Structure 1
Amino acid sequence: MIDTAGQTLAVQKVRSVRAVGTRAVLAELSGTQDVLALQALLVEHPLPGQLDVLAAAETVLVTADSPVSARRIAARLLQLDLTAPAHREGELVVIDTVYDGEDLAEVGELTGLGTDGVIAAHTGQIWTVAFAGFAPGFGYMVGENQVLEVPRRSSPRTAVPAGSVALAGNYSAVYPRRSPGGWQLIGRTGATMWDLDREQPALAAPGHQVQYRAVRDIVTLAPEQQAQIPAPELRSGLRVVAPGLQSLIQDLGRYGHSGLGVSAAGALDRASLRRANRLVGNAPSAAAVETVAGGLTVQAVGDQVLAVAGAPSELTIESRSDAGFDAGSDFDDADEAGSGPSWRTVPMATPFALLDGETLSIGAPESGFRSYLAVRGGVDTAPVLGSRSTDTMSGIGPAPLATGQLLAAGGEAESGVVGHPELQPEYPGTGVTVLDVVPGPRADWFDQGALDSFTAQDWEVKPQSNRVGMRLQGTPLQRTRQGELASEGTVAGALQVPPEGLPVLFLADHPITGGYPVIAVVVDSQLDRAGQVPIGGKIRFRWAESTLTGNATPQPVTPEEEASY
């Protein structure tokens, strides 16, 4: 390549490509400029089968629509010539910060600067947002020097307060909301880092410059009072009588927004959501209710058609004395005369009517963990970034269901008839669930002994698990490499291993980037099964038959595939 001065320039290429599960690949590059160049190229000229692109510190994650597309994309990435990224105007954002973080003293010791020196170094330079990740509004900021370079915590916190100002590696960032995290906390701010009501939701977006300013206390402006508009009267839908442990509105998720730091979210058991929607005549992606461990009770407002799929549970309907009954249903003979409420049960994976005023209760699962309640027409709530799913990591989407809440039934029925009863698969119990995995992009951080230990033992699902990830208990895995891994994109099903050696299995609400090595990735077809493993259940991982434990590199594309590309 020749520049305008006639000088020969070295052609910049992708250094290597690693598989991330079966439907994503990770391109490794020489530095931030090449990362931004590749990201810009793929956004402007998407490769066939490309679904999403996520830039990180030294890598670009490309998600594909199929395993074959992922292999084709891997081959193409190695052939691309990278051009310089477009120049970005660096708007300056000032963030007032109180420096009283839990890790401030430790950071002072790690850097040798002391507490006052850390504050001076953090406020005395301009930081530039290089890329977004982890969560919406979480910008990875690069400083003008490396005096504040510190490692992540050996064990991540399960909850970091919103507004926490933190350091990790060469980066600084602000946690936009309460979430898990392994960065060193040095202060806090009242700045709103993510607001969907703004034209630019992220306060500090990629390309922005940031100046931290030390203050004694946080001053936040009171939100503007908006006129209260009375909610329209619900004429058709469901009223929440009891929400259970955790009940959320979910559909098949929001894709293509990883550049904003937004994960896909969506139902953890996608097959069960589709089944419930199919039974009531909805589109497969219609919003439904995902509920955990039973306890959900809803009341019909107007006559409704419902179906429940997923973890097998007893479904009990309480009827008014004058309500009709479905033919063939079981009910309490003592109430046949209409002297009071009557109860009947309905089967799983079968459409049924819930008449106006009747209530449905979902009991504790016999096996599995999550059940899906679909109402004909779908749950009608305002979509956010194209989806009605609740993302518990980012706070995007509807809040968890609450007692007394009204759920309107929408217009997403696509069939004039309901479906026939369906058979359901067997769901995991408290025994051992086997999940197939493929090598992760950082399997080479572990020797054969650790890889064997990973698949030879039963991992127990800890109570701290949630939709973000399943924390596993077992014999810790030892790394063969020390030091930090630059933050890079990751996927649902990835098994990250923090320095303490206990894997975390990422689920649908996972952070889109992470800084711990991924030893393996659950194959996409078994993510539904993973989402049904209950707290206290055990998981054993098994290498998929088509992979080799020592190979984390995508296989080459065949000539036939190349010809059809």
Structure 2
Amino acid sequence: MTDAGVRAILPAGDRAILVELDSLAAVLSLQAALQAHPLAGQLDVVAAASTVLVTAATSDAARTIAAHVRTLDLSQRPEIDAALVAIDVVYDGEDLAAVGELTGLGAEGVVAAHTGSVWTAAFGGFAPGFTYLAGGDPRLEVPRRATPRTAVPAGAVALGGAYSAVYPRPTPGGWQLIGRTDAVLWDLDRDSPALVRPGNRVQFNAVRATALAPSAAAAATSAPESPAAGTAAAGTAPGLAVVRSGLQSTIQDLGRPGSADLGVTTSGAMDRGALRQANRLAGNPAGAAGIEVLHGGLALAALADQVLAVAGAPVDLAITDVDGGEREVPMLAPFALLAGETLELGVPQSGLRSYVAVRGGLDAPLILGSRSTDTMSGIGPAPLAPGALLGVLEAAPWSVVGNPELAAAEAPEVTELRMVPGPRQDWFDDAVVAGFGGQEWTVTPQSNRIGLRLSGTALERNRDGELASEGTVRGAIQVPPSGQPVLFLSDHPVTGGYPVIGVVATVDLDKAAQLPPGARVRFVPDTSAASAL
């Protein structure tokens, strides 16, 4: 038995572990070992500068993986794909001169050092196709910008700390921009969507500016436009038409685990229990795609006879027939929506998100195994818009609709969410940690599918500096420099650079998904997961 290279194994919630390692070589070795021989229940393996995050389907699987990691000899050279990827760059970035001054190399020296290095793709980043490249000329190590840009263009070649990277799509970012490329870093039409995968070697080549036509470069490096919901399934007859889309309505299933190493988060329904319930009532498998409706307002017209069910945040359901007659149907029970009829969802009486399931399940393109819309990465069908046509799959002949079910109890004035402490609790004094679990937090209007932004007494760190980016999980409670926590939800980034003070237990995340702005929440520490490791 050996734990060579492993400094610590920390709980990252009740279904994930964060393994601290003593070198990047050990990081790559552990990632390669787990990906080459995945264990039962293993979902995702996310490598970072000095950690590997492993998520699992159950708490027992997480504990088994932790025990297995302790037996691995990470001194062995991993079998990784070390293919060389050449990337042509026009070195005219906005920060090139500043980097030249910071390093003392001058602009031409920066270009020479950048192209003179063979970089190693160490780990994936916060967005699909973004890969941290290590092993470059140490003279190129520069700090991130004091104020991040709100938008970095696709194809930007950048330096941050000891790493280099290429931004695959327009996104905010704080790295120093030294050039641009027309290489397509992320393309779902390729067998391997990411141009650069962990383990690959990367060589940058300087080219003349005239080698890139600006319009062609922009087209090549921008993220492909998300297909309109319901339009990409060729040959499928549409079953519903969107009359009104409400504040935000998206197609969701149970998500796409297994691609976090490429920068793709699991995404999927925010309240997974509610989607499962709606599918159960409509006679569908639990993971069938339905519609997640934010704050009501959705109106759907049936183009053929359908059977639907609605669960989640309680709303009034009104059906208008072809003659203008109206009738109401209940939540949590299957009902018919006949051709020509229109269903309208009212505003929730409590909660935030309602789920519409259609017998057979909605048809949308399967991308990395899921039909879900990911608002963070832009993967999946576009949010619903008026006029969109939604295809409906044929129901399995053996499936039956479910019996009506009772509504859950009303939410309390203060919602309590069980929380597994850490993995970065040591960034805060004991008094701050104790106060965090004892106080109430308020959900702010800036919350979305990426996470709940909370307001309360600011949490002060006990150390300066930055935490090296590492993998994060759904339910992680990150604390940025402002001291106001962010509770990550379905569309959270795969990696983050702020300390996580705790992770909400999986069974309580559905409650978090239903918290509207102004709701009050309290985190209740649960140390059982930590002690099990």
TM-score (norm 1): 0.83
Identify if the C-alpha distance between structure 1 residues 88 and 179 changes in structure 2 by more than 3 Å, giving closer, same or farther.
Answer: same
1:9-28 → structure 2 map (5 Å cutoff): 12-28=4-20
Please list the CA deviations of residues 538-562 of structure 1 after superposition, one character each: whole Å capped at 9, or x if unmatched.
3222212x45xxxx95535xxxxxx
For residue 139 of structure 2, give the secondary structure of its aligned residue in structure 1. Answer: coil
Residue identity opposite 1:394 in structure 2: S
1:494-505 → structure 2 map (5 Å cutoff): 494-505=476-487
| 8 A contact 1:47–1:73 mirrored in 2 | yes
> In structure 2, what is the Cα distance between the partners aligned to 1:453 and 1:109?
45
> In structure 1, what is the Cα distance between the partners aligned to 2:108 and 2:327?
68
Shift of 1:421: 1.4
1:520-539 → structure 2 map (5 Å cutoff): 520-539=502-521
> In structure 2, what is the Cα distance between the partners aligned to 1:554 and 1:152?
37
2:29 aligns with: 37
| 8 A contact 2:3–2:72 mirrored in 1 | no
> In structure 2, what is the Cα distance between the partners aligned to 1:455 and 1:112?
48
> In structure 2, what is the Cα distance between the partners aligned to 1:117 and 1:498?
35
2:316 aligns with: 314
Shift of 1:368: 1.1
Identify if the C-alpha distance between structure 1 residues 36 and 160 changes in structure 2 by more than 3 Å, giving closer, same or farther.
Answer: same
The structure 1 residue matched to 2:367, chosen from 379, 384, 406, is: 384
Instruction: Please report the RMSD computed on the Cα atoms of aligned residues, expressed in angstroms.
Output: 3.0
Identify if the C-alpha distance between structure 1 residues 310 and 208 changes in structure 2 by more than 3 Å, giving closer, same or farther.
Answer: same
Residue identity opposite 1:26 in structure 2: L
Shift of 1:238: 0.6
Work out which of the two has the higher radius of gyration on C-alpha atoms and give 1 or 2: 1
Identify if the C-alpha distance between structure 1 residues 119 and 246 changes in structure 2 by more than 3 Å, giving closer, same or farther.
Answer: farther
The structure 2 residue matched to 1:343, chosen from 313, 322, 326, is: 326
| 8 A contact 2:281–2:309 mirrored in 1 | yes
For residue 519 of structure 1, give the secondary structure of its aligned residue in structure 2. Answer: strand
For residue 15 of structure 1, give the secondary structure of its aligned residue in structure 2. Answer: strand
> In structure 2, what is the Cα distance between the partners aligned to 1:367 and 1:157?
37
| 8 A contact 1:300–1:357 mirrored in 2 | yes
1:172 aligned to 2:164?
yes
1:299 aligned to 2:301?
yes
| 8 A contact 1:17–1:554 mirrored in 2 | no
1:330 aligns with: none
Shift of 1:172: 1.9
The structure 1 residue matched to 2:437, chosen from 455, 461, 469, is: 455
Give the unaligned 5+ runs of structure 1. 2-9, 224-228, 322-340, 557-565
> In structure 1, what is the Cα distance between the partners aligned to 2:509 and 2:172?
21
| 8 A contact 1:305–1:354 mirrored in 2 | yes
Identify if the C-alpha distance between structure 1 residues 366 and 123 changes in structure 2 by more than 3 Å, giving closer, same or farther.
Answer: farther
Deviates more, 1:116-125 or 1:243-252: 116-125
1:267 aligns with: 269
For residue 135 of structure 1, give the secondary structure of its aligned residue in structure 2. Answer: coil
For residue 481 of structure 1, give the secondary structure of its aligned residue in structure 2. Answer: coil
1:72 aligns with: 64
> In structure 1, what is the Cα distance between the partners aligned to 2:66 and 2:454?
31
1:367-378 → structure 2 map (5 Å cutoff): 367-378=350-361
Please list the CA deviations of residues 300-325 of structure 1 after superposition, one character each: whole Å capped at 9, or x if unmatched.
0111111111111111111111xxxx
1:91 aligns with: 84
Identify if the C-alpha distance between structure 1 residues 153 and 282 changes in structure 2 by more than 3 Å, giving closer, same or farther.
Answer: farther
Shift of 1:71: 2.0
Give the unaligned 5+ runs of structure 2. 221-230
Residue identity opposite 1:516 in structure 2: Y
The structure 2 residue matched to 1:441, chosen from 423, 433, 450, is: 423
> In structure 2, what is the Cα distance between the partners aligned to 1:362 and 1:177?
35
| 8 A contact 1:441–1:518 mirrored in 2 | yes
Shift of 1:121: 4.9
Shift of 1:236: 5.1
Shift of 1:109: 6.9
Identify if the C-alpha distance between structure 1 residues 413 and 471 changes in structure 2 by more than 3 Å, giving closer, same or farther.
Answer: farther
1:419 aligned to 2:402?
yes
Identity %: 56
1:507 aligned to 2:500?
no
Identify if the C-alpha distance between structure 1 residues 52 and 416 changes in structure 2 by more than 3 Å, giving closer, same or farther.
Answer: closer
2:466 aligns with: 484
For residue 204 of structure 2, give the secondary structure of its aligned residue in structure 1. Answer: strand
Identify if the C-alpha distance between structure 1 residues 386 and 529 changes in structure 2 by more than 3 Å, giving closer, same or farther.
Answer: same
Identify if the C-alpha distance between structure 1 residues 531 and 212 changes in structure 2 by more than 3 Å, giving closer, same or farther.
Answer: farther
Shift of 1:287: 0.5
